[in-house]
């Protein structure tokens, strides 16, 4: 199966979860991490979902009943996390008719998208998919690759972003052409010594002095 890879900005966007169990709770956590507003529809909610609703009252709406047609109104994305294939199919049909992205957990025929195995570390997000063929293999490969992520990746990405922004907009580097700026950033990320030096910079002035050595 040929899939189109994409990262979706869910900040402030509406999502719906049908179901109130452990899987629904995991989907809720991931969506909240992404900044989404989430409606969860289920006759029963587990403790994790109830706790999330209490902690994020402006972002989580609990609808305490079975799914009915119309629950997906205004949603950008839907997860059907039930163990009922008939419900999953009903949700799928409503989502498809409204051009809403739909994922029915462990029910590929009722999905318009699949959720890859992924790792999030601050701004770092990498994902793997087997196109639904073997989620277990995708998870195994993710675990094997995860060990190669630097422990301080959050700090490194923060400093790299500052360095990139300074090269683009600070007067000190106004005469540095775009290709040269890109080359400087590639040199930094390709050299562990330079990465270590950058991560040790305490403020923008130190980062500017560091970058001047590379211009």
The per-residue pLDDT for range 116-140, each reduced to its tens digit, is 888 888 888 888 888 777 888 988 9
- Domain regions of the chain by residue span: 14-115, 116-149, 153-212
Look over the chain and give the mean of its residue pLDDT values, rounded to a whole number: 93
Q: What is the pLDDT of residue 195?
A: 94
Residue 3's pLDDT is 82
- pLDDT at residue 150 in the model: 85
For 4, the token pair is: 């189109």
Check residue 79 and give its pLDDT: 98
- Residue 1's contacts (CB-CB under 8 Å, 6 or more residues apart) are 131, 132, 133
Distances (CA, A) of 102 to 40, 89, 108, 137: 14, 10, 10, 23
pLDDT tens figures, 78-93:
999 998 999 999 999 9
**Both tokens assigned to 59:** 């972002």
Q: Give the domain 14-115 fold.
A: Rossmann fold (3.40.50)
Cα→Cα distances 145→26, 65, 124, 197, Å = 22, 41, 13, 25
In this predicted structure, the answer to whether residue 61 has a pLDDT above a threshold of 80 is: yes
- The encoded tokens of residue 119 equal 């790792």
Q: Which residues of 160-178 are buried (b: 16+ CB within 10 A; e: fewer)?
A: bebbbebbeeeeebeebee
pLDDT in tens, 1-30: 678 888 899 999 999 999 999 999 999 999
Report the distance separating Cα 157 and Cα 167, nearest Å: 15
pLDDT of residue 1: 67
Asked whether the whole model's pTM tops 0.85, one would answer no
């Amino acid at each position: 199966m040929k899939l189109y890879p994409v990262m979706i900005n869910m900040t402030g966007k509406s999502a719906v979860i049908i179901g109130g169990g452990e899987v629904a709770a995991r989907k809720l956590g991931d969506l909240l991490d992404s900044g989404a507003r989430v409606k969860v529809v289920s006759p029963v909610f587990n403790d994790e979902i109830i706790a999330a609703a209490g902690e994020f009252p402006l972002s989580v709406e609990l609808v305490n009943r079975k799914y009915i047609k119309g629950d997906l109104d205004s949603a950008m994305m839907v997860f059907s996390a039930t163990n009922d294939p008939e419900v999953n199919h009903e949700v799928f049909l409503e989502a498809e008719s409204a051009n809403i992205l739909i994922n029915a957990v462990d029910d590929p025929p009722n999905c318009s998208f699949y959720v890859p195995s992924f790792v999030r570390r601050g701004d770092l997000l990498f994902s793997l998919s087997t196109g639904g063929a073997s989620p277990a293999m995708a998870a195994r490969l993710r675990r094997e690759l995860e060990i190669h992520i630097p422990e301080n990746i959050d700090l490194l990405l923060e400093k790299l972003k500052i360095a990139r922004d300074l090269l683009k907009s600070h007067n000190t580097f106004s005469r540095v052409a775009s290709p040269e700026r890109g080359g400087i950033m590639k040199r930094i990320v390709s050299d562990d010594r330079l990465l270590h030096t950058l991560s040790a910079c305490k403020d923008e002035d130190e980062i500017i002095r560091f970058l001047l050595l590379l211009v």
